[in-house]
């Protein structure tokens, strides 16, 4: 004989478990959408900045690199990427400290890290408390001057 009370409890328990799973899944989907949206906005910033540097003639196709950081992670243009034609694969995410993810990042990653660290230290900021970006441009004029001059001294600070 079927115990309807027991059956009802089992159905209610299964429904509650399903509701919990659905809530957790919805949270994960929401977080994924938020991360994708943030990644798209970041790509747009990198892409537009790189394109503007190239179109203005400030840099050659491979003359510089871009990065941004939140004090926890660093997103930086990949080694040998073309600033005027960046694709989403040309932006690498790496950690605040040296790690395996550094492979393929711009050769200037160590300089970018030092600048972010100095910025955070100077302002006494904790990881995750700031957002900053660096544009490292190898301008044509500077490259030219480096070929004909032993030393380049700026006229101002």
> Quick one: pLDDT at residue 62?
84
- What integer best gives the mean pLDDT of the chain? 84
Q: What is the pLDDT of residues 48-58, one digit of tens each?
A: 999 999 998 88
- 125 within 8 A of 114, measured Cβ to Cβ: no
What is the full DSSP assignment across 99-132?
-GGGTTB-TTHHHHHHHHHHHHHHTTPPTTS--E
**Which residues are paired to 135 by β-bridges?**
66
Give dist(CA 16, CA 150) in Å, integer: 74
Q: For residue 40, give the DSSP letter.
A: H
Q: How confident is the model at residue 157 (pLDDT cuts 50, 70, 90)?
A: low
Q: What is the pLDDT of residues 2-56, one digit of tens each?
A: 676 776 677 667 666 766 665 665 555 555 555 668 889 999 999 999 999 999 8
Give dist(CA 69, CA 73) in Å, integer: 6
Q: How confident is the model at residue 73 (pLDDT cuts 50, 70, 90)?
A: very high
Closest to 106 in 3D by CA, of 80, 83, 132, 143 = 80
């Amino acid at each position: 004989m079927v115990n309807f009370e027991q059956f009802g409890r089992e159905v209610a328990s299964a429904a509650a478990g399903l509701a919990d799973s659905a809530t957790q899944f919805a949270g994960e989907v929401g977080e994924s959408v938020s991360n994708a949206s943030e990644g798209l906005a970041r790509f747009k910033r990198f892409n537009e900045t790189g394109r503007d540097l190239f179109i203005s003639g400030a840099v050659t196709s491979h003359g510089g690199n871009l990065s941004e950081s939140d004090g926890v992670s660093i997103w930086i243009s990949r080694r040998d990427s073309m600033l005027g034609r960046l694709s989403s694969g040309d932006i690498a995410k790496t950690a605040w400290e040296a790690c395996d993810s550094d492979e393929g990042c711009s050769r200037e990653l160590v300089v970018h890290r030092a600048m972010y660290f100095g910025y955070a230290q100077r302002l006494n900021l904790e990881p995750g408390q700031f957002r900053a970006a660096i544009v490292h441009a190898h301008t044509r004029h500077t490259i030219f001057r480096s070929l004909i001059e032993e030393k380049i001294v700026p006229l101002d600070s």
